[in-house]
Amino acid sequence: MVATVWFSSLLLLLLSPVSPLTSFPDTLVEAGIGGNVTLTCDTDRTLKGPLLWKHSRDGDTWPVEMTDFQVLNEKQLVLLDLEEAMSGEYSCWDGNTLLYHTHLLLNQTWNDAELHCWAENYGCMFYCSWSGVEYTAIRLRNERDGGEWVWPSDKGVFSVSHSTNQYAEEVWPLRVTLEAINSERILRISKKFYLREIIQPPHPAKVNSKSVGETLLVMVEPPAAWATPTSYYPLEHEIEYQRKDDGQVKKELCCKDQDTVSIFHSERDEWCGWTVELHCCLAPRCGAGSGRCVTWRGGSAGSGSGPETRWSCLSGASGASGKM
């Protein structure tokens, strides 16, 4: 009978669902698999009886006993040769009185390429996202500027402030750290980059087009969130268009001082059904190299003055779409 009860309890323990950590605990200890760790019962209370340690994991709690891998030494608990099953919450008790508790999590490394960061302009905010779905609590901070921890939005995007001077050359790169936990593990990722390396301009504020004789005029205004003055933060617009009759693809580059591109054809009816691709490019500035482009594609099903055009993002972080 005793053996049956013990077996049933063990089966219940193995089948119990994991209790996820949905926030970062106030007290946290991390260690690697196969390592050792010492937990201390942090209390000044005068004990009325023997100190008792308890281990909680997977929704169950049981007393910690002396074994080859669990050494009790007054107010300390030494855990040896750590395994995943040894993670969880540890608490120390004086009878029925809780004295102290902490979470033991096993650390894990990750490729920082999984952490994606971008900025829409040279202002005081940038954004990051991460695709780790097996973790139940995630936070991120700007280490370079000593920023506070921030939490993701409902869409999984972190909004991070920074102190980079947008009117001066960047000297020190930004450094962000992401921490993620579940009931067993803690993950920490660090990533360095310059603000100029992650700029991705958002959707143009306005894109109009009209045919004038044998010419198609495409007029582009900078994104509403783009930095000003535009003379200091130039954008170059490259228009790629494709003829529907023969499939030819051509490109026209708009200089930074222009806001209109003229595209010429010999026959007016060639504008009946066309597609245009707009590359919103960063002009070389402050060591930014040859510049980077975010692509927006649009098209029209008709001809005439001011055809309706739909634009959608082909690459870039915002993933927005619009109708001009």
In a 10 Å sphere around its CB, with 0-12 CB exposed, 13-18 middle and 19+ buried, how is residue 103 labelled?
buried
| pLDDT beyond 60 at 310 | no
Mean pLDDT on 116-135: 90
* Structure confidence at residue 200 (pLDDT): 86
Query: Shortest CA distance to 277 belongs to which of 245, 308, 313?
Result: 313
3-state secondary structure of 103: strand
For the chain, which domains are there?
Answer: 2-108 (2.60.40.10), 112-197 (2.60.40.10), 206-323 (2.60.40.10)
* Structure confidence at residue 7 (pLDDT): 37
The model's pTM: 0.67
Asked if 120 and 204 touch (Cβ cutoff 8 Å), the reply is: no
* Structure confidence at residue 172 (pLDDT): 94
Q: Kindly report which listed range (50-59, 147-156, 157-166, 282-291) carries the lowest average pLDDT score.
A: 282-291
Query: 101 versus 166: which is more confidently predicted?
Result: 101
Across the chain, what does the average pLDDT equal? 74
Q: Give phi and psi for 274, each to the nearest 5.
A: -145, 160
pLDDT band for 1, please (50, 70, 90 cuts): very low
pLDDT band for 152, please (50, 70, 90 cuts): very high
Asked if 130 and 110 touch (Cβ cutoff 8 Å), the reply is: no
* Structure confidence at residue 208 (pLDDT): 78
Give the span between the Cα atoms of 70 and 235, in whole angstroms.
63
Q: Kindly report which listed range (172-176, 218-222, 266-270) carries the lowest average pLDDT score.
A: 266-270
Cα of 177 vs its chain's centroid, Å: 11
Task: Give pLDDT tens digits for 29-73.
Answer: 999 999 999 999 998 888 888 899 999 988 899 999 888 888 888
Over the Cα atoms of the chain, what is R_g?
30
Mean pLDDT on 108-123: 82
pLDDT band for 290, please (50, 70, 90 cuts): very low
Residue 147: both structure tokens together: 């920023």
314 Cβ partners below 8 Å, 6+ apart?
Answer: 277, 295, 296, 297
Query: 323 versus 174: which is more confidently predicted?
Result: 174
